[in-house]
Amino acid sequence: MGPRNVFVTGGAGFIGSNFVYHLLDALPDTHVKVYDKLTYAGNMENFERVKANPRFSFVHGDICDVHAVSEAMRGSDMIVHFAAETHVDRSILVGVNPFIQTNIQGTVTLLEAAQKLGVERFLHVSTVEVYGNTAPSVSVRHQFLEDDSLNPLSPYASSKAAADRLAYSYWTTFKLPVVITRCVNNYGPYQYPEKQIPLFITNALQGRPLPVHGDGLNTRNWIHVEDHCRALLAILNAPADAVVGEVFNIGNDEEHNVIDNANAILRLVGVPSYYPSSSLISFIPDRQGAVRRLAVDATKLRERLNWTPQISFEDGLASTVQWYIENEAWLKHVLERGDTFLNDALNRGVDKA
């Protein structure tokens, strides 16, 4: 039997809101309850299309609040846990405490509540950042496997690594039916513009330079958020013996560096050809805690659940740029909130241009 009542933490954020749409469309009998604190990254405007759907409900709350979590979780069969402080730069420049609080303490609060309730599945959304640096291409094996060691490089990644292992320990110790996913970098609609791709799109649309850290050659696997959501749904639908107690990498073979992304976005936004794109790219000092290369091997997920990514980076990036153009009001409202960290990030290349 598929999921019936799904409790989605962090559902008002980027991946969570895409997942809510995906779930409601794919499973007509399923009810979704989003539980979200609405931090700077949460946005009720992400729910425009589902807010009147009787199978959707929203609870405003903090995952660290034991009482509120157990009240809200009651009646849920499956938990999908996205809620987190998610930005590497904020974990370095703003402070680590919210990361420890939400990513570690909040995860434990949810695991405890789920354990008491006796849920059928607890899908913990971890990240490839827990692995650290993929070896450079001279190495024998180039992509992380699920049983590789975890060597997180930033406070964000370390807090996610702690949560990842705590979730696993609730399976090994208490037999809570936990599944852990480690997905590569996502892009797509509704992503807060502090992150690389929407930041580049926002600046390209507004004629501001695109800030590129270091030499711009840091590379990542990039996956469209819909492919990620499809993988998560496949895991929720899978029989317990195929997935419970397991870790799954989610990724593809699309590796791209920062400069390539900047140039591709400038082209898609339509910076006039007489205007050399390089003049809208501004090099700034490298980030602390930066990972040079991150790539995973997702063979386990492909073979066990027959999942394959369906959106090429070229097509996905084009549709994402188009989404930000068509959803000017969404972007305008986000920018009007007066988030000084975001404002600084968007303007980081201006002085250097």
Binding site for ligand NAD (CB under 6 A): 9-10, 12-16, 36-39, 41-42, 62-64, 82-86, 102, 106, 125, 127, 160, 183, 185-186, 192
Alpha carbon separation from 136 to 69, 143, 149 (Å, rounded)? 43, 10, 16
Among 252, 8, 4, residue whose Cα is nearest residue 125: 8
Output 60 or 292, the one with its CB closest to ligand NAD: 60
Question: Shortest gap between Cβ of 248 and ligand NAD (angstroms)?
Answer: 12
Output 192 or 248, the one with its CB closest to ligand NAD: 192
Question: Shortest gap between Cβ of 332 and ligand NAD (angstroms)?
Answer: 18
Output 88 or 238, the one with its CB closest to ligand NAD: 88
Judged by phi (left if over 0) then psi (alpha if -120 to 50, else beta), residue 152 lies in beta
Amino acid at 5: N
Output 27 or 180, the one with its CB closest to ligand NAD: 180
Q: What is the 3-state secondary structure (H, E, C) of 152-203?
A: CCCHHHHHHHHHHHHHHHHHHHHCCCEEEEEECEEECCCCCCCCHHHHHHHH
Q: How many CB atoms lie within 10 A of CB 212?
A: 24
Question: Shortest gap between Cβ of 90 and ligand NAD (angstroms)?
Answer: 10
Q: Quote the tokens at residue 111.
A: 């695991």
Among 277, 298, 305, 140, residue whose Cα is nearest residue 203: 277
Question: Shortest gap between Cβ of 18 and ligand NAD (angstroms)?
Answer: 8
Output 82 or 170, the one with its CB closest to ligand NAD: 82
Output 127 or 203, the one with its CB closest to ligand NAD: 127
Q: Which residue in the shown chain puts its C-beta closest to ligand NAD?
A: 13
Among 327, 294, 79, residue whose Cα is nearest residue 202: 327
Question: Shortest gap between Cβ of 65 and ligand NAD (angstroms)?
Answer: 8
Question: Shortest gap between Cβ of 275 and ligand NAD (angstroms)?
Answer: 30
